[in-house]
Structure 1
Amino acid sequence: MKNPIPTAFAGLEHLATAVLLLDGESQVLYANPAAEILFAVSSHQMEGFSLAQVFPNAGILLTAVENALAANSPFREHEFPITTVRQNTLVVTCTATPVDFNPVRLVLEFQQMDQQLRIAREERMLIQQQANAELLRNLAHEIRNPLGGLRGAAQLLEHELPQASLREYTQVIIKEADRLQLLMDRLLVPHRAPKYEPTNIHEVLERVRSLLLAESPQGISIRRDYDTSLPDLIGDREKLIQAVLNIARNAVQAMEGKGELILRTRAERQVTLAKKRYRVAIKLQIIDNGPGIPPDIHDRIFYPLVSGRAEGSGLGLTLAQTFITQHHGMIECESRPGHTCFTILLPLESTAYTTKQVPL
C-alpha cells in the first residue's frame, strides 16, 4: 500500500461485512478479508485501483460515490447489481460513510442481498419439495394396488373374449396400466438411499453428453466448458447423471432440433446451502439458447406433473431436484427467450481447491 491505514480501521479485518476504504479520488486503499471473499479478488490486487476498475459497469455505485465525496454526505443504495472483475454479478446493498482520516475519505460497506434472497428461496423450495414428496409417495402407494387389480382383470377378460378384434381394447387397458405402473415406480425411485462415493463431476457430464449425442438431432451442438481442476465430490454417480440428464434432455427437446447446449463447471466460494456454509462448491450450469420456459409455469417447473410439453410427464425436474437435494445441493433456474440456464450447486467438503487470482 502506498499510504498507511489509520489505526481507527484496524478492526476491519475481523468483520463479516465486506468493507473498502477509498481516498478522495475513489481509489481503493484497503479491502478487508470479507471483501476479498465476496469479490473473489485479493486486497493486494484491488489496492491502488479506481473503483471503476474494480467494478466495471457499476454506474449507480460510481455516481453515488462521486456525489458522496463531493458533498461529504453519506448514502445507502439498496439491492442493486454490480459486476466484479471476475464477471460475477452480485446484488448488494451498499452504505457509504465519508470520514476524515487522511488518506481515507470514504468507507464502503457491502451486504450481499442475492445470497440472502437465495437462502430464503431455498428454504421455501425445501418446504415445498418435502410436501410434494409426501404427496407423491402417498399417491403412488394408493394407485399401485388398484392398478394391479385393473391390469389383472383386463388380462382375465382378454382370455374370455371370443373375438380377436375385441382383444385390441383389453390390450389398450393393459398397456395404459403398465404405463401408469412405470410412472408410479418413477415416483418412488427417489426414496432409495444414495450410494455415496468419490465422484468426478466431469465423468458425470461426459456420460450425459454421450447419451444426448446418441439421441439428439444433427442440428444440436453440445459444448463443454469445464474447470478440470475441480476435485471429486462425494456423491451418488447414477443419481447425479440422472439429475443432469433430465435437465439437459429438456433443454435439447425445447430447442426442437437446432441450437447449442453448454455444459459448464466452475468453483463457487463461500456458499450457503441448506443453512450450512461451505468454503467451496461445484457450480454446474446447463445452458441452452432455446425459446425459454413459458412464463406461466416458470415458478412451478419443479412441481410434479408440471410440463411445458404436451407429451411430457412433468417428473424430470422434480426428480432432478430431489436427487440434488439428497447431495445437500440446490438447483436454480433463470430463463428468457434465447437463454435458459439451470445452475446446480454441489458442496465440496474438501478445502484443498483454490482458484487462480485474476489480475486487474
Structure 2
Amino acid sequence: MIAWLTRLARQVAPVLLALALTQTAPAAAQPLKVTDLAGRTVTLPGPAKRIVLAQGRQLNGLGLIHPDPVSLLAGWGSDHKRQNPDAYARYAAKFPAIDAIPTVGDGATPDGFSFEKAVSLTPDLVILSQSLAGTRYGPGDLVQRFEAAGIPVAVVDFYLQPLRDTAPSLRILGTLIGREAQAEAYIRFYEERRGLIANRVRGAERRSVFMHAHAGGFDCCQSPGKGTFNDFITLAGGHNIAIDMIPGATGQISLEQLLASDPAVYVATGGLHLASRGGLVLGLGISPEDAARSFATQVARPGISALAAVRNGRAYGLWHLFNDTPLHIVAIEALAKWIHPERFADLDPQATLNEISARFSAIPLEGALWVDGTSKRGP
C-alpha cells in the first residue's frame, strides 16, 4: 500500500505544480490601444515611459493625471518655461530633474519644433497638439515622419476646441501612460462642474462680454474670436462681442469699437509674461494684493476707464494661461459668476481650484489666477 501511494504521489505532483504555476503566473501584458483626436489608432506595448512632449505647455495636462509627469519626459518644447514661468518654477522646485530635460524647440509654432532632435531622443511616444500634427515638414507632415521613423505618435489638444477635446485628450493620455483611473476621476470631476454651469445658465439672458487679451501689454485691444475663450464665455452664459468683429481665433479691435459696443462685462486677461510690459500680472505665486494693484492700473487706463462695465464694477481679471489647460473649468466658473451673479451666488471657483490642487495636481496651485473686481453689484 505504501509503495502504491508513493507512486501515485509522484504522478500527481507534477500536475498539481503545473496547475499552481498556471494560476500564479502573471498574464501576458496587453498592448495599449487608443484612438487619438486625429482619428488614428495608436498602439503601445505598455505604458509610455520616454515621451517627447512637442508642446511643453501640455505638461499641465499630464500633471493632473500623474504624480510625477516630469519622470515621463525624454524631451519637450521650451514654450512651457517661456510662457508659463510661474508653473515651471513650481515644477522645478518639486521635480529638479526638469532642468535637465532636453528641449526640442519652442513647440508653440511649427518652425520652432525640431523633428531631428525629437527622433534623436529615442522616445517611445511623441505627443503632438492639433496645430502641430498637421504641420508640413519636409516630404510629409510630422505625424507621417514620426511614423516612418517607427515612433508612435498621439494627437491631443486642450486649446483649439477645449470643450470638445479636453475629456478625450485626458482619456488618451491616461491610457497611454497607464493612468486610466486618475484620468477618469478628473474627467468625472470636470464634467460635473461643467454640467452644473450649463444647467444654471439655461434660458438666461446672454449678456455681452468683452475679453481684453494680454491687457496692458499691447495696443488696445486684442481679443479672442472663435475657439477657446469664446467657448468659455458661451458656456458661462455670455456673448463674446468680439466674435461679431473678428473672423479668426484671435484679432484686434479698436478702442473706438470697444467703446461703441459698451459691453455689460469687461474681462482683462494677463500673466507673468506681461510683467515687463506693464500689463496685467496674474499667475501662480502672485499675491492677491499685487494682482489687485496690477488690475487697478489696467482699468484706470484712458478709454478702458470710460466703459460702463468698469464704472459699474463689472470689470474683472483672468489668468490668460487658462486657455490651454484642463484647469479652464475654474475659469468658466469665474466667468459664470461674473456674467450671472444672480444665478451663481453660491459658486466658489477658489474652492474648485483648491480641490483640483489637493486631489489631482502634481504641483500646488496657489496664487492669484483671477481678480473679482471691486464691486459686488448685481446685473
TM-score, with structure 1 as normaliser: 0.24
User: Higher relative contact order by CA 8 Å / sep ≥ 6: 1 or 2?
Assistant: 2
Greater Rg over alpha carbons, structure: 1
Structure with more of its chain in strand, by fraction? 1
